[in-house]
Structures are given as structure tokens and as C-alpha cells.
Structure 1
Amino acid sequence: MAEASFSKPPDTETLNYTQDIRQMMHGFGDSSEPLFESAKIIEDVVLQQMRTIISRACEIADRRAGSKKNNIINGEDFIFLLRKDKIKLQRLLKYLELKELGGSVQKVLVNDTPQNIVDSEQTDSTKKKVPFQTFLEQIDNTGELLENSSTMDDIKRRRCIRADLVTRSMDEMHYIQYSKARRVSFVNKNRHKFSEWVGLDGDITLSKQAYAILSYLAYETVAQIIDLTFLVRQDQSKMHGDAIDRQRLNCVNPFTYKPYYGKNVVTKPFTPSEVNEALRRYWSPQLDMTGPFNRWSMRRSNLKLLSC
């Protein structure tokens, strides 16, 4: 496997996430050197999707504020967008919970004192609550959003299986490179860059939690596109075996996914045509009720969100 350079072409604009998205693509299972053209397509889709999400969140914030003028988008406005998809909502809540836990651990390490550590025998009134629990209790009419989150997240499971298969043939150097790619996201380093890239209106303000959620949704959009592109490649590969059995692992059946049999085999990078075909299927009304591309799609394609 060749070492990824992620070198930036000289004619690329300064304010973009193309290089970061290339690394994310590698982290989600693409080649160690993803094609720049494919990354640009994904970047354009992510940007369009984030602007649509912000627009919808603004509408929710205005309704929440009533007659008062409200230009601040809070985390609750994004949570409300996810209320109809329990799996995606639970995935976001787990992310926020781990993010908060990581911040607490960092504070303990910096302060070097055990005072902030909560005793394991804490009372029910002092137990840590689910992020946005109060808000979820207000909008959860059926009781499904806050029930035991033991529902299997098949998409997350398939991504973990894919990551395991990818790393089996890696040596130490390539594994370090891959693990670094897995840590790249939109929330790292520069929050102002993300705000400028999305192109927020000067009258719109996002809270700190809203920024964290929006950057997570952008990251999840890249992951979803890669998931769908793997499905397109699976169809093109025409793997032998039972179709239902292949569908269980979606695009990563360890018994039929041939590229990972040999240690010296280099995975082909996703081409622009594969990415475009994945998006075409996702946004196609004709494929609305078929297989893993099943989604309600009677709206215009630019309004059909990948992460919500």
C-alpha cells in the first residue's frame, strides 16, 4: 500500500475541506490516496447539505421563539431535526456524551486533582443525564426517544466491520497513518474556518453546542456517502454467493470481499462516477422503496438530507 501524501493541488482554493475529506474517506475505507475529484464532489454535497440543515434549523428556531426575533440556533434545533430517526439520534447523543466525557477527563488531567471525579455510589438525583434529556422529554410523545438505547445500529456495526477488515493487512506505519485519518473531522482545529466555509449569514449565530452538532452532521454526511458508494462498488463487482447473505453486511462481507485477501493488494480509490451513482440512487424517487437506498424521496434532492 502506497503512503498517502494528501498533497494539495496548487490551484485549490484556500478555504475548503477537500484535503480533510480525503483523509476522512480513507478513514471510512477508501484507498490510502483518495481521488481529489471524488473528494470535491463530496465536499460540494456536504456544503449544500449543511446550508440546508441550517436553513431548517432557522425555521425551527423562529417557531420556538414565537413572535420574538431570534437569530440564535441552539443544539435543540438540530436535535429536533433528528427526532424521526431514532438510530441517528441515538448515535448523535452517544457522540455528545463521549465528547463531554472526554472534556471532563481532560480537565482532571490538567488540574491533576481528584475533586472532579464523581463517586460511583452517587444518588439517582446526581446521576449524569443524557445530553438534551429535558428537551427530549418535551418532544417525546411516544416514549421511544428516551427508552433503553439497546437498538442495534446496523450502519455503525458495518462501519466497524469494514474498519477491522481494512486494518488486517496493514503494517505498523500504514496503521498509524490510517488511525490519524480516522481522527480527522470538521470539528478539529479551527471552528471559525468551518463557519466561514459553510457561509453563515451575519445575522445567524450558532451556540457552541450547535457548532459541535453541525460539524458532527457534516462528518456523518461524508460517512453516509462512503457507505452508499461501497454499495455501488459491490454491485459492480458482481460477487458470487447468496444475495441475501451479502446484504447482511451491506458492502463488507468478509467471505466475498476479495480485495482484502492479499496483503499487497491496494484498494482502488472511489471514482467520481461511483460517488455520483451513489448519490443518484439515494436521491432517485424510483429507488425509494428498494433495499438499503430506501428513503422517502418525494422532495427535491437538495432538501433530502443524508445525516438527518
Structure 2
Amino acid sequence: MDSQKISYYNEISLMMFGFGDSHTPNPETVRLVESIVLSQLRLIVQEGLKHSENNTLKGEHLVFLMRKNKVKMRRFVKYLQHKDMKKHLDSDVVDLTDKPKPPLLTFIEKMDEFGELMDTNEFDEVKHQRQLRADRISLALDEQKYIKFAKARCASFNSKEMSQTRNFEKLRQWIDPKKEVNFTTNSFDVLAYYAYETVAQIADFAFLARLDNRRTGDPLGDLSGLYYTGSMFNGEHRFTGLNPDYSRVYNGQPPFSVNEIKEVMRRIFSPQAGKLCLGRKNTESICIIAV
């Protein structure tokens, strides 16, 4: 592969559609998101190398960066569990009781002193909102469009059209074209997950930025559940308008604009967005979206 031609434009375009963007995303927006994901992955690699030896990056070093965020760690644990189950089902293994755990799950268990990181029973509000958006979009699609949407929801940085080795080689040339870092196999798996989550969270934040831009009057008017409060007394029906279910999406919505993505990144990097720095300079790791 020519490192100058490595691009994840098609994958990111599909993922953005799967996360609620228009089925025809803005090309400039996709390129901007691609550049953001690449810069985020390179920042993650540099942060992970701070915990490594001999310039060798392992998956454990990358997972360690997520240790302070219980919600995101639990989401990652679910990802590992589902991937491990699918692997054994594809291999026709009948008895799953004696199968060894994936090394990354074992590492998280050792790091989880109080049982908080491995507790996957707690409700994940962000994941629920993504599933709600996908459900509301699918209800408005015909069979042919639904097949395209389902394909978009399955898009990732591990293409099914290529072997795992070729997927990892493409990701390595994208992140580290000069081959300055030694990557282990499971480190690429974690990086692919981080890249996917970065696109997902950019889409999540873009919907919030769009809501803020369109909001007029009551600043809380877009919150779910308000039909059962003020709207019940002013005669407004819950199932009217373009977005009746408050899932923040509707059929035929315009694609994310470059300015909306720039606003997302401004809020992420701005101390006023909720980062308490107490007058000190923010560390680079605080601006990593996926962790």
C-alpha cells in the first residue's frame, strides 16, 4: 500500500450515515472528520507510549488510558465480550465454559480493583441514544434504503473485505507511515475501536451543536419528556413536527456541515466546555475524545 494514498474516507462516510448523518454526507465534512480521527489516533499513540518500553505499543497501554472513565471502559468491555463470543461461534465451538478470556479482558479485570470497570449491567445513556436514533431512522426507510443503512451501521475500521493482517497494515501506514513505533496485534484492535468511537462521539456532539443552533425560546424545549409537563397544557401534540420522538434526527435532514464539526471541536478543546483546569494548562490527554 502507498502510504500517500491511505484514506478512510469511504468508511467514515458510511459510519457517519450509520450514526445519523444524511445518507449523502458532505464530502468536506467527511474529510474534516477523517483528519480529526487521524490526529486523535496519533495523540492516543503518543499517550500510550508514555507507559511503554522500547517504543513498543501494546493494547494494554492503550486500554490503560481509559481507566478513569468507567462508562467508556464498560462499553469497551462489552465490545470485547461480543467480539470474543462471535469469534467462538464462527469457529463452531460448542463448549464456551472453558474458553480462555481475551488478554485485554484479563488485563482490565486485574486493573479493576472495585469491580466497577467490568460491571456491564449499568445503563449506558449514550449507547441508548445512538440505538434510538438508528431505530427512528430505520422506521422511515423502505427495504432498499434500510439495507444500505444496515450496511452503514456495520461499517468500521476493520473492513470485512480484507484480512485482519491487511486491515492492521493499512491502519499502521495511516497512523505511522514512517514506521517509528512498534505495534502489537492487539494494539491495532484497540486503535480501530478508538477510531470508531471517535467518529461516533463527533456525530453525537454534532447533533447537540445543531440543536443549540436551532433552539429558539425555551432552552430546555428539546429535552425528552417535556410533553408530559408544559406541552400538556399548551395544546401541543407530542407526535407533530419533524422530530416528534426527540431522537434528534428525522428523514431527509441536511448533512453535517463543516462549521458544525468545527463547533464540536471548539467545545471539546475549550476549558469552558466543562474542563476544570484551575488556571493550569490542559494536558494533551484531556482532549482525546475516545477516552
**TM superposition score category, shorter chain reference:** 0.7 to 0.9
Q: CA–CA distance in 2 between the matches of 1:15 and 1:257?
A: 45
Aligned CA distance change for structure 1 residues 268 and 238 (closer, same or farther; 3 Å): same
The one of 247, 270, 273 aligned to 1:284: 270
Maintained 8 Å contact 1:41/1:272? yes
Which piece of structure 1 moves more, 190-199 or 87-96? 190-199
Partner of 1:191: 168
Q: Aligned AA for 1:185?
A: S
Please give the residue correspondences for 1:66-105 in structure 2 after superposition, counting only pairs within 5 Å: 70-105=54-89
Partner of 2:258: 272
Structure 2 residue runs of 5 or longer lacking an equivalent are: 227-237, 245-249
Partner of 1:106: 90
Equivalent residue pairs, number = 263
Aligned CA distance change for structure 1 residues 296 and 142 (closer, same or farther; 3 Å): farther
Q: CA–CA distance in 1 between the matches of 2:71 and 2:285?
A: 23
Maintained 8 Å contact 1:239/1:256? no
- 1:89-130 C-alpha deviation (Å, 9 max, x unpaired): 11111111111211212222xxxxxxx3116xx5xxx47647
The one of 182, 185, 210 aligned to 1:208: 185
Maintained 8 Å contact 2:80/2:105? no
Aligned CA distance change for structure 1 residues 49 and 37 (closer, same or farther; 3 Å): same
- 1:169-214 C-alpha deviation (Å, 9 max, x unpaired): 1000100011111111112233221111112552422222111110
Q: Is 2:200 aligned against 1:223?
A: yes
* Deviation, structure 1 residue 136: 2.7
Q: Is 2:27 aligned against 1:56?
A: no
Partner of 1:306: 289
Partner of 2:107: 135
Aligned with 2:265: secondary structure?
Answer: helix
State the TM-score, normalizing by the size of structure 1: 0.77
* Deviation, structure 1 residue 142: 3.8
- 1:60-94 C-alpha deviation (Å, 9 max, x unpaired): 113xxxxxxx2332221111111000111111111
Maintained 8 Å contact 2:18/2:150? yes
Aligned with 1:16: secondary structure?
Answer: coil
Which piece of structure 1 moves more, 237-246 or 278-287? 237-246
Q: CA RMSD in A?
A: 2.7
Please give the residue correspondences for 1:135-174 in structure 2 after superposition, counting only pairs within 5 Å: 135-146=107-118, 148-174=119-145
Partner of 1:20: 11
Q: CA–CA distance in 2 between the matches of 1:102 and 1:151?
A: 23
Maintained 8 Å contact 1:21/1:43? yes
Aligned CA distance change for structure 1 residues 151 and 130 (closer, same or farther; 3 Å): farther
Aligned CA distance change for structure 1 residues 137 and 301 (closer, same or farther; 3 Å): closer
Q: Aligned AA for 1:55?
A: Q
Aligned CA distance change for structure 1 residues 141 and 201 (closer, same or farther; 3 Å): farther
Please give the residue correspondences for 1:36-55 in structure 2 after superposition, counting only pairs within 5 Å: 36-55=27-46
Aligned with 1:286: secondary structure?
Answer: helix
Partner of 1:66: none
Maintained 8 Å contact 2:28/2:258? yes
Maintained 8 Å contact 1:96/1:131? no
Maintained 8 Å contact 2:17/2:25? yes
